[in-house]
Amino acid sequence: MSVAAPAPLRVALLGCGVVGSSVARLLTHHREDLSARIGRPVELVGIAVRRLGRDRSDVPVDPSLFTTDAADLVTRADIVVEVIGGIEPTRDLLLTAMKSGAAVVSANKALLAEDGPTLYAAADDAGVDLYYEAAVAGAIPILRPIRDSLAGDTITKVIGIVNGTTNFVLDKMDTTGAGFAETVEVAQALGYAEADPSADIEGFDAAAKAAILASLAFHTRVSSAQVHREGITDVTAADIAAADAMGCVVKLLAICERVATPDGDAVSVRVHPAMIPRTHPLGSVRDAFNAVFVEAEAAGQLMFYGRGAGGDPTASAILGDVVEVARHRVNGGRGAGESAYADLPVLPMGAAQTRYHISLDVADRPGVLAAVATAFADHGVSIETVRQQVVDTDRGGQVEHGANLVVVTHRAADAALSATVAALDALDTVREVVSVMRVEGE
């Protein structure tokens, strides 16, 4: 008596751009290996695209697999891979897919960060997996390590360089001394920055990733709207030079921190440029690479590094999820779902504890340093280091004596630090606040 071969697991792909075509190609080329790893044949049953008729000869699949009817396709699959992005109609499609019993693998950071709980609830209701490793830091395995490998530990901090475009721009500013605008143009010409780079350079992309990282790390729902966000558009060549003088480099950081408050633990989640020592593991992340630095109570410090974007690197993370959810199908059961039991409060930015580096051009006369120090003291901010350099400026033949003061603070509430900067700016003896930048990575 012959035993019927198990029916293949049906994979539907939503989207066939750079990442989607890599997923289709790798799934097709490695189908036998992937099937062996899963323990059951896996088959691509359809690719939803916006328009038929485009030349897709680079995608080695039967052209009849392309369809514009995504709503139908998601009901004919065991696993739906979503790489179309955006909020709608994507959310609707994923909800329909899960309702129809399909597991979902998504790279959609914006949707997960804006409305993750709706998707997690749908996954729970349907008893299916919802995996999204590719949504944060492309190829780098970071979400499953946080969700699974570190599930027995207490994560205290996650600091990530999670946006390659901004890292490329800041790295080039650091190595060339050029300004922000001209460096963005170079990044666009080289294909590192989009024609409209605002999602990257204004920090929206990193903020969505920070929300996802914080939610998983702290078992707490954090949406992108709760993430304090500052992009890199105001970072100047002077900021980069000031960082360099301290042995630091400027990075756009996604920072997720567990903070002890008098009322119990809370979380601080923020995205902003900051100086970080060149000797810190994140200080050596060059070009468009991503990295995520994790601190946990028992594990100590961990560093994850790799490519955060691109077709094949992102497809690697997606296919890893496909194999994982497919294994669950074959063996029964699901992976870990959402864990938001801790439900920690999310602190406003003003309450976050940070350090500042402030560079000031001041008059060089008695009492100036005392006035500057008083501005810090008045706001309860403790100074860690002060460096002064006398600077003579030639103003049309007249030499004006002045000094450049660089102050680095101890950790203090961000609101107190920004009030200190406002007070410094208002002092007669302060000619110019040259650079203000947060400092991370002690």
Interface ranges with ligand HSE (CB under 6 A): 163-165, 200, 205, 308-309
Q: Which is nearer to ligand HSE, 250 or 413 (CB)?
A: 250
Torsion of CA 200, 206, 207, 212, to 10 degrees: 140
Whichever of 163 and 420 has its CB closer to ligand HSE, that residue is 163
What minimum distance in Å lies between the beta carbon of 21 and ligand HSE?
16
**Which two structure tokens, joined as six digits, stand for 93?**
């499609």
Whichever of 66 and 168 has its CB closer to ligand HSE, that residue is: 168
**15 or 164, CB closer to ligand HSE?**
164
Sign of the alpha-carbon torsion through 416, 420, 426, 432: negative
209 in catalytic set: yes
Identify which of residues 229 and 258 has a Cβ nearer to ligand HSE in the complex.
229
Output the smallest distance, CB 410 to ligand HSE, in A: 33
Cβ pair 232, 201 in contact under 8 A: yes
Shortest Å distance, C-beta 214 to ligand HSE? 17
Q: How far is the CB of 422 from ligand HSE (least distance, A)?
A: 33
Among candidate residues 118, 149, 119, the one with its CA nearest the CA of residue 132: 119
Angle between helices 164-176 and 237-245 (to 10 degrees): 70
Taking the C-alpha atoms of residue 101 and residue 10, their distance in angstroms, rounded to an integer, is 12
The answer to whether 254 and 213 have CB atoms below 8 angstroms apart is yes
In angstroms, give the least distance from the CB of 68 to ligand HSE: 25
Pairing between strand 289-296 and 300-307? antiparallel
For residues 165 and 420, which CB has a smaller minimum distance to ligand HSE in the complex? 165
Q: Strands (DSSP E) along 187-299, which ranges?
A: 228-229, 248-261, 264-277, 289-296
Question: Is 51 buried (19+), middle (13-18) or exposed (0-12) by CB count in 10 A?
Answer: exposed
Nearest to 321 by CA among 103, 137, 117: 103
Q: How far is CA 424 from CA 94, 108, 203, in A?
A: 52, 43, 28
Q: Among residues 109, 172, 209, 251, which one is catalytic?
A: 209
CB closer to ligand HSE, 132 vs 376: 132
CB of 62 to ligand HSE, least distance (A): 29
Structure tokens at 277: 């020592």
409 conformational bin, left if phi > 0, alpha if psi -120 to 50, beta if neither: beta
- At 175, give phi and psi (nearest 5°): -85, -25
Q: How many CB atoms lie within 10 A of CB 109?
A: 26
**Cα-to-chain-centroid distance, residue 442:** 21
Smallest distance from the beta carbon of 196 to ligand HSE, in angstroms? 12
Question: Which residues are part of the catalytic machinery?
Answer: 209
